[in-house]
Chain A
Amino acid sequence: MYRYDEFDHTLVAERIAQFRRQVQRRLNGELNEEQFQPLRLLNGLYLQLHAYMLRINVPYGTLSSRQMRKLAQLARRYDRGFGHFTTRQNLQLHWTRLDQAPDMMAELAAVEMTTIQSSGNCVRNITADQYAGRTREEVADPRPWCELIRQWSLLHPEFSYLPRKFKIAVTGSPGDRAAVRVHDIGLHLHRTERGELGFEVIVGGGLGRTPVIGRTIRRFLPAADLLAYLEAILRVYNLGGRRDNIHKARIKIQVNAVGAEKFRELVEEEWQQIRTTPLLRVPPEEIERINAYFAPPAYDELPDRSAELARLGRQQPAFGRWLATNLAAHKVPGYAIVNIPLKAPGRTPGDATAEQMEAVATLAEQYSGGEIRVSHRQNLVLVDVRQSDLNAFWQELDHLGLATPNVGLITDIIACPGLDYCKLANARSIPVATAIGERFADTARQAGIGRLNINISGCVNACGHHHVGHIGILGVEKNGQEFYQLTLGGSSDQNTSLGERLGPGLAAGDVPAAVEAIVARYLAIRRDGEEFLETCRRTGIEPFKAAVYGEKRAEESGPVKELA
């Protein structure tokens, strides 16, 4: 993991001191809320429906056990004993107080964490593949590059007042787990035949009220040019992005307005001006310095125990189901990547109690080198577990309620906090997620349905990434009532697609039955080995439309009550 030195510590301490003075000016009335708002947002502090929410960056989703314990401590001391992991790999504390925020930030700084730029119109937390550094297919670990970008973007004197928020994701794998095509900038690591490392640069993706799949503006950018190229993109956006309408201010609108080809020309032109600037070039020794922090642990030479595990799984079916769903293949024989879902039936997706956080911190030390990952699907991951420890590890997780065998399955739901917390929301997300979770709680049945992602957002801002859910659910409000629009066929992997709207909105109580109808139709029409998304792509949404709304398809715009 990256470790702060005196410079990193000094910078963060100075920022907290600055924010402490700003909070003081707010509390004694020198600043009104309108003046204070952009200042607090740049430091990750939101004013929500009931309280201040503090959003804590988990850079590229990597945490140490020590950091996780600090998060638990903060949740207990300053909040209500739990926190919410988000689709941007961050942790949110939803019940905090303004006057305590600087103290919380100081406590975080002690474990090398910050809330800086977790909101505001600036470069946000840099996200990455949660399996970074541990899969065989990976070209290179994206996290050293994320760290380089984190430092370059933190308190950038030129780019702290962008037209709108700016999200960057990096992946090093052909199979994209970082959703790089739905970020303002997505970076995909590649290596040339001669072994040179570089990036495919994707710009202008994003969800929100105008979902757009990002466009590749450069197939291969040599790694040493990364910061100059990012600086060029950000400058083109800072100067040319719209500032007259908050809903049209993201870079995707600018890219669409001028056209991807013209946008590429603008960036390349700017880049040519600055690419030889010495301090923007990333020298190999700096990459080596950062790389060293992400060196994998010294693995033991272990035999592969898959066959033995499979046998044990047959003897203990619950363990077997967990093995089948919650594990991913490790690049080193004898080791496994283990997903820890924060999606137990009846629980809010992404929520973890202080006790759970502490328990995971301890388990990580015991079984996985003291490192924890956060996935954009709101789960935790331990990436270096010995196969020989899996059975004991599973039993410990099971005691904590963290061994639900549902990773990638229908109850592994992404959901934003929704109207239960959020001022922007039009509808609640959490009750819909928990209702679906309870309806499909039978783990054998889930396994039979197979891979199926449900993503739920409580408003068009799409924090729950509903556009890229295999089944997307969007909460809307009409005449004071909550309705839910379903979309099918979305995906955020290497074949990113946006879901297609199924039909008129449904009442909250009807959503689980509609999902049930969709699943039943899928099971009836799927071909051998076909996953839900594949069936959906093959047939289109028509069969599912009929399943939900009846054979005489309802074209009227009002909500439809009767379900097939």
Chain B
Amino acid sequence: MALIKDGAAVSDPFFNAAGQVVIPAAGPVIVSLEQWLAHLSALFARRSPIGIRLRSDQHPEVIADDLDHFAVIALEVPAFRDGRPYSYARLLRERWGYRGELRAVGDVLPDQLHFMHRAGFNAFELQGADPVQEWAAAAAEFSVWYQATGDGRLPARLLRIPPWAAGDRSG
């Protein structure tokens, strides 16, 4: 398994403590929501970066006030068909302004990467043999979109308007 972040293969500095009995005393860790809620003060006191890992039935609004504390938010994709992480990602980025690493973990297939990226994910745990290539291919799959998301890319509708007629684009 490899971690692709912002288009490059990186080594994961975080220890995944979610589901572990003991959270390591030092170093970057990713904890579960249950661990986060149970050990809030201890986790606040740590000097190393903290990440949180949410299941797809855990709505990130429960941590919406704590986002500044997280270097990573990892959203589980339990199955290809589970579309909830896409909505969570958009809410985290567009509504609550989360700017840290947003990582897709679990059953992440290359066929999903493009939409995930558009929804706001910038890191992916991939299983394939050549994840960098998988990512590059997925990122290039589409060059036109009908919808605007928080990624700033313009929908086709705005590109259609010729520059001389564009006028006020805020409408």
Q: Chain A interface (Cβ within 8 Å of chain B)?
A: 5, 7-8, 10-11, 14-15, 17-18, 22, 35, 38-39, 121, 151-152, 154-163, 235, 238-239, 243, 273, 277-281, 283-286, 289
Contact = CB atoms under 8 A, between A and B. Distances in A.
14 contacts: A15-B142, A155-B142, A157-B119, A158-B90, A158-B147, A158-B149, A161-B86, A162-B83, A239-B59, A278-B170, A279-B155, A285-B161, A285-B171, A289-B160
Interface in B123-171: 141-149, 155-161, 170-171
Nearest to A278: B170
Contacts of A283: 171
A283 B157 CA distance: 10
A224 B68 CA distance: 36
B87 A157 contact: no
A11 B146 CA distance: 9
Contact of B111 (A8, A39, A158, A235): A39
A7 B81 contact: no
A8 B87 contact: no
Interface of B: 59, 80-84, 86-88, 90, 95, 109, 111, 114-116, 118-119, 141-149, 155-161, 170-171
A468 B170 CA distance: 45
A10 B95 contact: no
Contacts of B116: 157
A316 B156 CA distance: 54
Contacts of A157: 86, 114-116, 118-119, 145, 147, 149
Given A7-B159, A158-B86, 11 more contacts: A7-B144, A14-B144, A17-B141, A151-B156, A155-B142, A157-B149, A159-B83, A238-B87, A243-B82, A243-B84, A279-B158
The A contact surface, by secondary structure, is helix
A35 B110 CA distance: 12
A11 B83 contact: no
Given A14-B141, A278-B170, A283-B171, A161 B146 contact: no
B171 A281 contact: yes
A18 B142 CA distance: 9
Given A11-B144, A155-B142, A239 B95 contact: no
B141 A11 contact: no
Contacts of A151: 146, 156-157
Given A5-B160, A14-B141, A35-B109, A238 B83 contact: yes
B161 to A, nearest CB: 8
B143 A14 contact: yes
Given A38-B80, A162-B83, A278 B109 contact: no
Give the residue among B59, B141, B146 with the most A Cβ atoms within 10 A: B146
Contacts of B115: 155, 157-158, 160
Nearest to B83: A161
A155 B155 CA distance: 12
Which 3 residue pairs are nearest across A and B when measured between Cβ atoms? A161-B83, A279-B148, A157-B118
A279 B81 CA distance: 27
- Residue among B59, B84, B118, B155 having the largest count of chain A Cβ atoms under 10 Å: B84
Given A8-B156, A152-B147, A161 B142 contact: no
Contacts of A286: 157
B147 A11 contact: no
A273 B95 contact: yes
A17 B114 CA distance: 14
